[in-house]
Structure 1
Amino acid sequence: MVSIIILTKNEENDIRGCLESIKWCDDIHVLDSGSTDKTIEISTELGAKISFNKFKSFGDQRNWALDNIQTKYDWILFLDADERTTDKYTQALFDAIRKAGPDVAGFYCCWKMILDGKWIRFCDNFRKWQFRVLLRGKARFKDFGHGQKEDIISGEAQYLMEPYLHYGFSKGWAQWIDRHNRYSTEEAISRSKVRPPFSQIFSKHGSLRNVAIKSWVSRFPGWPLIRFVYTYFLRLGFVEGRQGFTY
C-alpha cells in the first residue's frame, strides 16, 4: 500500500531504529548522499534498497527520489533516519489512504519531539506539520527555508492527526547546536535580503507562518529573552521538567 523513502548521510546511530519501526513495509528505499559510516551496511542488512545521489537540498533530493527510484506503490512516505513510526501512526496512515478520494494529493504529518525519552509537547509547539505522504504524480517538493515545502500538482493535501516520533537530539547536543547555528545564520542572511509580508503571519501553512513570525518578531529588542519566556512559561514548557528547560 505504501512505499517508504529515507534520506541519509552518516546515520548509523539512527537508521536501525528507523528501519525496525517500519518492518510493516515491504518496499523500503534508502537514498544516501555519501555516507562514510555504517549507514549502508545496516540498511542493507535490514533489507532496504539503496540508491545514491549527491545532496544539493532537501527539495531537490526528494524530487530526485520521485524521478529515479522505482517504488512498488504509488503512495510514498518520506521519513528521516531519526524518525520512527508507531502502530497508531501506521494504522492512521493506512486508514487515510483507503479513504482518500481521487482529489487527494497527499497528507501533512505531525510528530512528537522526543528528548531524553520524554515527549516535549509544549516546548516544541505540537502540532507542527510537514508534507510527508504523497501520491506519485500529484505532488513534488520545492526548497523552502532549511528544508522543503510541498508543490501540489493536482488535488489537495489533507492532515493526518496521529503523530510519528522524532528523535531530533539523537546525535547529541553539539550536533544540534551546530546545525541550528547554521540555520540562524542562513535566516539572518535571508532576512537581510527580503522580508515576507506581514500578512504571511496569518497563513494557514505552518512553514510560511513560522518564517514570517521569526522575521518580524526578531526585530524586537531582547528577542531571545522574549522567546524563552514565551516557550517556557506561556507555552507551559516548565511542566516538562528538565527536558523542557533544556530545550
Structure 2
Amino acid sequence: MISIYILTYNEELDIAACIESAMLSDDIIVVDSCSSDRTVEIANRYRVRVVEHAFESHGRQRTWMLENIQPKYDWVYILEADERMTPELFAECIAASKSNSQYIAYYVAERVMFMNSWIRRSTQYPRYQLRLFRHGKVWFSDYGHTEREVCDGATSFLKETYPHYTSGKGLSRWIDKHNRYSTDEARETVNQLQHGSVKWRDLFLGNSEVERRRALKDLSLRLPGRPIIRFIYMYFLLGGCLDGRAGFAWCTLQAFYEYLILLKVWEIKNMAPTHTEPKTLETLNKS
C-alpha cells in the first residue's frame, strides 16, 4: 500500500472527486492551505486526515508536509485537487513500491485536460512530474511559481498517466491563477538572467525528458519575442493545430501568459516600488 497526500486551496469543486479517485489507498492526507471555501468541510466527510497549514510557497508547503505529517506507509504519492488517481496508475505505483529496485522516486506523465479535451500535442506530452517516492528521500525547493524536487537517490518513470483538469473551475479561475503565477515567474526570470545559465549538454543530450525540458526552460528565458516564439513552437512545431479548438485556445493562453511574465519582468527592472506615507490628521489639516 502507499499513502497519498492531496494538496488543496479553495478546491470545493474538485476535492470530492479527487478524494474518491484516491480511495484505493487507506491512508489519504489532505493538506489544506487554509481555504476560505468549503474544501475542508467536504474533505471531512471522508475517512481521510485533514491538516491545515498556511501557504508560503509550493516548495515550502510540500517540504513542510513531508517533514511534519507522518504517512502510514514508506511510499507516498502527491496528488493535487485537480488531478485524479486511476486504478491502472495505482496498481503500477504498488508494483513499483514492491520492486526492491534501486529507485527511490518515480516520475509520472500528466494528460492535460482543457475545455473537455485532452491537449496531447501542444503540452509536450509526455511531460513528467515527480509523484511517487519513498518518504524521507525527496524534498522540494521553489522555482518560479512552482517547485523542483531534490532526490536522494536514483529515479525512474512509470508508464501509466494521470488526468489533470486544468480548467475544471472555469476560465476565469485559470486566468486569475496564472496572473498570480506570472508574478513568481517574472521574479525567477530576473534571478535566472542574473545568476543562472543554460545547461547546453542537458538541452541536447539530457538523460531524461525532465532534464531536457528544464534546459529548454532556461534557454527560453533568454530568447527575444518569447510569447510569439512560444505560440509558434506549441501550435505549429508541437502540433497544437491538430488539437482542435481547445488546442488553439490553449496555445493562445500560454502565449498570453508568457507576455504577462515579460511585462512583469520589465516592471521589476524599471519601476521602483512606491511607499506612500499614511495620511495623519496633522498632514490632512496642512493640506
Do they superpose with TM above 0.5?
A: yes
Determine helix, strand or coil for the equivalent of 1:141. strand
Residues 123-202 of structure 1 aligned to structure 2 (within 5 Å): 123-153=122-152, 155-195=153-193, 196-199=196-199, 202=203
- Provide, for residues 53-90 of structure 1, a one-character-per-residue CA deviation record: whole Å limited to 9, x for no partner: 11111111111111221211010101100000112211
- In structure 2, the gaps of 5 or more residues are 251-287
CA contact 1:198–1:216 (8 Å) conserved in 2: no
Give aligned-pair identity as a percent.
38
Within the alignment, does 1:87 sit opposite 2:87 as a pair?
yes
Q: What is the letter of the counterpart of residue 164 of structure 1?
A: Y
Corresponding residue of 1:31: 31
1:241 maps to 244
Query: Contact between 1:9 and 1:34, CA under 8 Å: does it hold in 2?
Result: yes
Unaligned runs of 5+ residues in structure 1 are none
The SS at the match of 1:183 is: helix
2:230 equivalent to 1:227: yes
Match of 1:212 among 218, 233, 246: 218
Q: What pairs up with 1:57-76 in 2 under 5 angstroms?
A: 57-76=57-76
Residues 67 and 213 of structure 1: is their aligned pair in 2 closer, same or farther, counting only changes over 3 Å? same
1:207, CA displacement in angstroms?
Answer: 5.7
Deviation digits for residues 96-154 of structure 1, max 9, x if unmatched? 222242x321111211001122111011111112212111122221222221111123x
SS in 1 for 2:50: strand
**2:219 is matched by which residue type in structure 1?**
I
Q: Could you say if the C-alpha distance between residues 239 and 188 of structure 1 is closer, same or farther in structure 2, counting changes exceeding 3 Å?
A: same
The answer as to whether partners of 2:22 and 2:85 remain within 8 angstroms in 1 is yes
- Please say if 1:99 is aligned against 2:96: no
Please tell me whether Structure 1 or Structure 2 has the larger radius of gyration of its CA atoms: 2
Q: Structure 1 residues 169, 210: closer, same or farther in 2, change over 3 A? A: farther
Q: Is the 8 A contact 2:140 2:148 kept in 1?
A: yes
TM-score by length of 1: 0.91
Query: In structure 2, how many angstroms separate the alpha carbons of the residues matched to 1:209 and 1:233?
Result: 21
- Quickly say closer, same or farther: Cα 1:210–1:85, change in 2 above 3 A: farther
- Greater mean alpha carbon deviation, residues 124-133 or residues 199-208: 199-208
Distance of 1:70 and 1:190 partners within structure 2? 32
In proportion to residue count, which structure has more helix?
Answer: 2
SS at match of 2:160: strand
Number of equivalences: 242
Q: 1-side partners of 2:183 and 2:249: how far apart?
A: 22
The SS at the match of 2:127 is: coil
1: CA distance, partners of 2:245 / 2:237: 17
More displaced 10-residue stretch of structure 1: 28-37 or 186-195:
186-195
Moved over 4 A (4+): none
Give 3-state SS (helix, strand or coil) of 1:194's partner: helix
